[in-house]
Structure formats: structure tokens, C-alpha cells
Amino acid sequence: MEKVILCIATLDSKSAELEFVKQAIERHDGFTALIMDISCLGSSDVPSDITSKEIARLAGSTIEEVRNMDEAGPAAEIMTLGVRRSVKALYAAGKFDAVLSIGGGMGSEIASAAMRELPIGIPKLMLSSQKIVQAGIRKYVGSKDIVIFPSTADIAGLNRLTKDALNRSVGAVIGMLSVKDAEQSDKPLVFMTMTGLTTTCGLAVKSTLEDNGFEVIVFPAIGIGGETLEELIKSYPVKGVVELALNEIGNELFGGMASAGPNRLEAAGERGIPQIITPGCIEILNFLSPDTLPDSYRNRPLCYHNPQATLPRLNGKEMRQIAQTIAAKLNQSKGKVKVLIPVNGFSALDKAGMEFHDRDAGKAFTETIKTALDAHIEVIELDAHINDKEFAQAVAAEFLGII
């Protein structure tokens, strides 16, 4: 059966490049291109299967209104809405199997918004100028599996560099469509969070649960990891969640760079999925290189974990606020919840003899969450560090008990 690749670009500026892509796709037997024009500013004589006029109409506007706007930003917003609606409808109707976009900053912004409407597993590739690398790719990718291919040269005409990038982009998408699907497990599914600072515990829990017949998927608690977990919980057949890293909560509250948004730690409770909660890494805020650290945190205990991970420690007052926030979310849970607290430290940095170890701040968290949680949610304190073997054994045992 023929495979269709939806190709998205602004034909007013990328017509030659998109024609090259179309020809490259259709040189491969069994593949065809479906062309979508998302031009905001001008028109093109090159034909498209989905026109910019249609895209504007789907957004409740007209292409004439879009092109008469004084600023590109509002025009792009209209076209983004139209593209999202068009791509969702086309996918629901089974009109394409993969998406490939080419463009600069504006074209990539519009196309990536549409790609984020699609399920994980649908091949999505964005060939873009290096402007998006400079801007940061998170806003383009979100929580979806979008492949970003930065073009060495600006995508402004056909030359030896852009032809190579365009051709390899086509090859990558065709490769994704050609590979056989991986064999899927029918084991009950568990989602788990951790960071490098709770990996020792996480791997031990994972091993025990796998020995008991579960498939365990681990999400890194770096902002986008928690955001992805929350989204997938809503649609995947998850049997239980184990939280070994909740630093994203503090990052949201106190301006860190690893926030997963205000709805972190809510999806499992809303669906009634059993949860084991630990205060893993909650004492940590996440920033990138040292120059990204705000002045207000420079006098804190700091860990330069790697060149792109600068970590300040939170104090007792902030830990109390995190505890109240976590409790308020868990109190809304429709499923079973247990909270396990390792009183000897919440991460590899929070350990006796290390600068991040602050037993009083840990007590502030523990006392607050015990008071703030509803009576039916059990809190278990263990005389252990989070990465101790006995704590991992307790997490696994309590999970098996509530599942």
C-alpha cells in the first residue's frame, strides 16, 4: 500500500525546495507526497494539495486578511490554528502516514504546532534553519517525538548543502516508515520518574518490578520528562506510577528551568491510577550553565553537576511549600496513594557529610506533608537514604501491595 508523506512549507519562499522534496520522495517506489502550503506573506504559482487559502479558512479568516496584516506574528497565529485543524482532520481521515516540514523560524513554528497535535509514533521530521537551535528546541518539540534536523546552511535556494539536507530528510522519513514496528509487550505497564541523583534507587525498583512481570518506562524529571509522563498517562493503559523525582514541582514554584508546568502530579490521580510517591530530588532546583543561575540563588549550596546542570538547594520554608503543593494534588487522587519518605536524604546530594544534606529542611517537608495530606493517604518514614537498598525494596514492596 502506498505511503503518503505530508510535506509542509511556505511555498511563497520555499517552492523550489519543496519541489525538490516531492521529487525525492516519489523516486522511491510506494511513496508519494501530499503538499501543504502555509504561506503567510505571499503567494506562489506552485500548486499544492492543501492551499494557504484553505488553511486560513479553517482558522476562520481569509488569506487576504492574513496577508494584509502589518505584523507577521498575528498572521502566523491564524495560520497556525488553521494548520493544526487541517493536520488533525487529515490524520483522522487516514490521509497521510508521516510529516516532513522545511522552513526557517516562522515556517518551523507553524509546522511544529501541527506536529504536536499528532500521536507519538507517527514519523515527524522538521528540517529547519539553525535559528531554532539558537531559540531552543523545547517549544518546537513539546512532549512529542519530533525529529529536528538543523540545516547547515539557511534553506534559501538549492545548493550542494541544502540539497544534501533535503535529500537526507526525505531518506530519514522514508526509513522511519519502512522499518518494521518493534514487538510490543503485553505486560502491565508502570511509569516511573527519576533523575541521575536517584538512579540507584530507580534501577533497583525497576528490576524488582520487571521480575514481577511489569514493563517499566522511566521518565527523566527534567521538565519535559514530567510533562510527557502526564500527557501519556491520559491515554496509555498505565497500571501504576512510581515517583522517585519530584524536583519539577519546586522548579515550577520557584522559577527553575525544569518545570513540567502547573499540572504535574495530577493525571494519575484523575484517572485513579495507584501511585507510590517519594520526595526524590525535591530539594533541588535545575538551571543550565552557571550563567543561567539567578542572583537570588548564588548564595545557596550549589552543585555544578555538569556544564549544563547548575543545581541550587532549597531551604526549609520552600520545602514546606512544596509539601503543601504535593499534598493538595494527592488529596484529589481517585486511586490508592502511599508516600514513602527516606529520612536520611532525598537525593545523592542530600546525604550525611555532603553540602546539600539538611536534615532540618527534610523534617520541614515531612512534618508539613503529614499534616496536609488527607487521613486515608498513608505516610511511611524509613530510616534510610533514598538510594539505599532497603528503601528501594520498600518502594517495590509497597507498589506491589497497592497494585
Q: What is the pLDDT of residues 180-203, one digit of tens each?
A: 877 778 899 999 999 999 999 999
Q: Of 178, 206, 241, which one is at a domain's C-terminal end?
A: 178
Q: Tell which of 127, 158, 178 closes a domain.
A: 178
Domain carrying residue 145: 3-178
**pLDDT, averaged across the chain:** 92
Length in residues, the chain: 403
Cα gap 173→97, rounded to integer Å:
10
Choose between 124 and 137: higher pLDDT.
124
Decide if pLDDT at 143 tops 80.
Answer: no
318 and 361 in a single domain? The answer is yes
| Residue 135 confidence (pLDDT) above 60 | no
Q: Mean per-residue pLDDT for 313-332?
A: 97
Residue 171 lies in a domain: yes
The H or E element containing residue 86 is helix 72-92
The answer to the question of residue 347 being in a domain is: yes
- Tell me: do 342 and 265 sit in the same domain: yes
pLDDT digits (tens, 9 = 90+) for 372-399: 999 999 999 999 999 999 999 999 999 9
Q: Which residues pair with 350 in a beta bridge?
A: none
Residue 373 within a domain: yes
For residues 21 and 162, state if they share a domain: yes
Is the predicted pLDDT of residue 50 greater than 80, yes or no? yes
Q: Find all residues with CB under 8 Å of 382, minimum gap 6, and list them.
A: 340, 341, 342, 343, 390, 391, 394
Does residue 260 fall inside a structural domain? yes
Please state the pTM of the whole predicted model.
Answer: 0.81
The answer to which of 23-27, 105-109, 258-262 has the lowest mean pLDDT is 105-109
Between the alpha carbon of residue 224 and those of residues 72, 137, 140, the distances in Å are 29, 11, 12
pLDDT at 275: 98
> Both 53 and 156 in a single domain?
yes
Q: Give yes or no: residues 252 and 347 share one domain.
A: yes
Per residue in 233-242, pLDDT (tens digit) is: 998 999 999 9
Cα 97 from chain centroid?
A: 22
Answer yes or no: is pLDDT of 131 > 80. no
Read off the pLDDT of each residue in 43-55 and give the average, rounded to a whole number: 86
Q: Are residues 134 and 80 in the same domain?
A: yes
Strand partners, 103: 128
Residues 162 and 211 in one domain: no
* Mean pLDDT value across residues 73-98: 92
Would residue 228 count as lying in a domain? yes
Task: Give the CB-side neighbour count of residue 372, counting CA atoms within 13 A.
Answer: 20
Matching residue, cell 476562520 = 60
Looking at this protein, which amino acid is placed at residue 99? V
Looking at the fold, whether 158 and 198 belong to one and the same domain comes out as no
In a domain, 183, yes or no: no
Residues 162 and 232 grouped into a single domain: no
Which of 26, 32, 35 lies closest to 7 in space, CA to CA? 35
Give residue 133's pLDDT band: very low, low, confident or very high (50, 70, 90): low
- Write down the pLDDT at residue 47: 84
Q: Which residues pair with 284 in a beta bridge?
A: 313
Judge if 42 and 120 occupy the same domain: yes
Is the pLDDT at 232 greater than 80, yes or no? yes
Q: CB within 8 A of 31, min separation 6: which ones?
A: 2, 3, 4, 5, 25, 174, 177
The CATH number of whichever domain residue 70 belongs to comes to 3.40.50.12020
Let me know: does 326 contact 377? Beta carbons within 8 Å: no
CATH code of residue 283: 3.40.50.12030
Least confident window among 10-14, 32-36, 104-108: 104-108
How far, rounded to the nearest angstrom, does the alpha carbon of residue 59 sit from its chain's CA centroid?
Answer: 26
Interval 49-75 mean pLDDT: 87
Where a domain ends, among 156, 178, 200? 178
Asked whether residue 129 falls in the same domain as residue 168, the answer is yes
Q: What SS3 state is found at 190?
A: strand
184 is a domain residue: no
**In a shared domain, residues 142 and 204:** no
Answer whether residue 139 shows pLDDT above 80.
Answer: no
**Domain annotation covers residue 374:** yes
Domains of the chain: total: 2
Q: What is the pLDDT at residue 132?
A: 62
Other C-beta atoms closer than 10 Å to the C-beta of 302 total: 17
Tell me the residue type at 392. A
